[in-house]
Homo-oligomer: A and B are copies of this chain.
């Protein structure tokens, strides 16, 4: 990799030089992306076609499990967050919206399925696929790439291919000869579907090859509406819908045959079909454009992004777009499979938040009014409890403009919120209130502190402050008054207290940067409240009651009913990312803490403690350390605050090795919209943002041999791991731009200004490193 070495001599490379370099060096990185990674078990990723941060995620659904059966929750629905499970043998159809890696879902809008032969309008079951329109398939005849997916639908002899632009999904179905070829549009289908999730759906058949409509649901998003425009490359010869209850125009039964060739359909149960005659190997293309605001917007998006009928050109454009994004990090790795993991991680990291506006800038606001994004790209689907940790910090390095736009998207959310609150977990002009904390504040503070903040910073800070002062939200009033959330008033009280304290610290850092001293004082004080839930007598964080006493019965291994959410006290007690030194001191000092941390990774966590916790599974655990869920993502790096930084190094390499693998079951837990992947990217490169809102990155142990960050500002930041091998997981010394580092930290500016970070790797730990 001579070119990197040569390049490194010029840390302030000009844009031109960088451009020339990239052109010369550009490798096809798309080939390393395997969208199948994470599609088995708990990864919750989808294998279908999408572009970076695209509004459309066009992907096969292998089942559409209802949320409830006879009024009771169906645990299997959790498996189908992304609509696809690798172990399944049938495909129901291809729908246009999917979250990537989340632990809850929604979406699955507008399921399309080509069939041949007798028309069936129900999906059927996996055990009896012939009972419905679904088809058997084999992974041998399936191909998933960044921006492209194909599969042979065995039951029909139809080859299905998918690709996408930001707002348009493009299908190509290659049929056998038939007088009974159908394309089904199931508006009833959806992910995480309730019986009455469809509040209303409408379809208009505008002409013999264009239809428009919308789907309005109340599920995870209380009120969610997606508009569409759909066109076929060939005119259909007839069409219709499944007869459904309540579909008729009331009072005028029988005036129309509403089920056949009647261009206006509405209800909450629509399943439509479109009939074609096909010749052998005839390809019919379908374009489905989405819009958050109107069918007119959807039609406009289609015209702007995919005016013609060239599937291959759209595919090529999608893959070129991906390649361009992936070029932001070029690497040399020990194994080819490491490149697969790394570029797939980048791919997953760049799937969301997703663009949420029409090509003309119009989007649906949280106030249900149509707004126009003024000077920014509006994004949605903020899985913030996950993504504030490493994904948004990663964006501040690799996607600075998008991260600024995301902040602006959060700010308009706050302006439009009747609660005047920043997003908690928001999607599609809704707040679903999932998980805890107000981590938008972390994202905003991180951007401000790191200087990636071309927005009204004081207004952004004000939005954080107003959010953090919303007394009726989830125990905040009690937290403000008492310095902790009392467990008898509000569940998961310790998790909330700890996360509020961190968010408050982040707010304080932004206030400091902006010279808002009164705000700094208020929130730096609040940032110490984590101490109020620490029980020195047992050495763990522990729920406190409103009378000031700690909860009596307490099990620090149990994740349920102990004052925590999606984690036990063992893991969550380490959640003081903004003051590890203070925490370590309170927990008995560096030496004791280091040993304590060791035991986290080595102790045995009996199955009973996580078998009923959706987000934690055996695959994601090392000892009692839970990597498959987020609260501990910073934990391995805490050794940097002891005198045993070397212990972080082997832990990180162990996690990278064991918890990220190729293959459909390669992910050890929900990818959580890129947070798991962002951890992988940072850690592979040798550094990690333990406390977003700080400019510091903690150093770990890189897994790459060499890497270059091709930054948007034209600079390059290079990482080299000398003497790298799978066994040389320890760092003997580190140099930044040739100068040895005495502390295990580098700053954001040091990265963004460009330069070279050189790790000298070793099989044996250097116990004196940084000390």
Contacts and interface: CB of A to CB of B under 8 A. Distances in A.
A706 B434 CA distance: 74
Interface stretch (A14-22, A131-139, A201-209): A201-209
Contacts of A482: none
Interface in A220-264: 220, 222-223, 246, 249-252, 254-257, 261-264
A711 to B, nearest CB: 39
A433 B253 CA distance: 10
Interface stretch (A3-11, A364-372, A582-590, A603-611): A364-372
Interface string A567-592: 00000000000000000000000000
Contacts of A218: 200, 266
A215 interface: no
A80 to B, nearest CB: 15
A544 interface: no
Most buried by B among A104, A206, A218, A434: A218
A256 to B, nearest CB: 7
Contact of A204 (B246, B256, B418): B418
A263 to B, nearest CB: 5
A419 interface: yes
Contacts of A204: 367, 418
A359 to B, nearest CB: 16
Given A263-B419, A266-B218, A296 B432 contact: no
A104 to B, nearest CB: 6
Contacts of A367: 204, 212, 295-296
Most buried by B among A222, A256, A433: A222
Contact of A433 (B255, B263, B433): B255
B369 A249 contact: no
Given A199-B200, A369-B296, A262 B472 contact: yes
A196 B250 CA distance: 13
Contact of A264 (B104, B214, B418): B418
Given A206-B418, A264-B419, A369-B296, A219 B250 contact: yes
A344 interface: no
A474 interface: yes
A294 B370 CA distance: 8
Contacts of A223: 200, 202, 266
Contacts of A115: none
A246 B196 CA distance: 10
Interface string A262-298: 1110100000000000000000000000000011100
Interface residues of A, number: 47
A216 interface: yes
Contacts of A418: 204-206, 263-264
Contacts of A254: 491
A462 to B, nearest CB: 18
A246 B68 CA distance: 14
A416 to B, nearest CB: 10
Most buried by B among A206, A249, A370: A249
A660 B591 CA distance: 100
Contacts of A261: 472
Given A295-B368, A368-B214, A200 B200 contact: yes
Interface string A423-461: 000000000111000000000000000000000000000
Given A294-B369, A295-B369, A369-B296, A434 B200 contact: no
A687 to B, nearest CB: 35
A473 B262 CA distance: 10
A194 B261 CA distance: 28
Nearest to A475: B255
Nearest to A261: B472
A269 to B, nearest CB: 13
A469 B214 CA distance: 29
Contacts of A369: 294-296
A384 to B, nearest CB: 15
26 contacts: A104-B251, A196-B246, A199-B199, A199-B200, A200-B218, A202-B368, A204-B418, A205-B418, A214-B368, A219-B250, A222-B266, A223-B266, A249-B433, A252-B432, A252-B433, A254-B491, A255-B433, A255-B474, A256-B472, A256-B474, A261-B472, A264-B418, A264-B419, A295-B367, A295-B369, A370-B370
Interface of A: 104, 194, 196, 199-200, 202, 204-206, 212, 214, 216, 218-220, 222-223, 246, 249-252, 254-257, 261-264, 266, 294-296, 367-370, 418-419, 432-434, 472-474, 491
Given A199-B199, A220-B250, 13 more contacts: A104-B251, A202-B368, A212-B367, A214-B368, A220-B251, A222-B249, A249-B433, A251-B432, A252-B433, A255-B433, A256-B473, A262-B472, A295-B369
10 closest pairs, A vs B, by CB?
Answer: A204-B418, A296-B369, A263-B418, A294-B369, A252-B433, A222-B266, A199-B200, A264-B418, A249-B433, A223-B266
